[in-house]
Amino acid sequence: MNEKAEKKWREEHPPKENCLPSSRSTVNSTVSLSVERINELMAKYDASETVDIRQEELISLLWEVLYHRKINPIF
- What pLDDT is stored for residue 30 in this prediction? 54
Residue spans per domain, the chain = 18-75
DSSP assignment string, 15-73: PPTT-S-SSHHHHHHH----HHHHHHHHHHHHTT------HHHHHHHHHHHHHHTT---
- What pLDDT is stored for residue 22 in this prediction? 59
Instruction: Please give the average pLDDT of every successive group of 10 residues along the chain, which has 75 residues.
Output: 84 69 54 85 94 90 85 66
- What pLDDT is stored for residue 10 in this prediction? 83
- What pLDDT is stored for residue 45 in this prediction? 94
Length in residues, the chain:
75
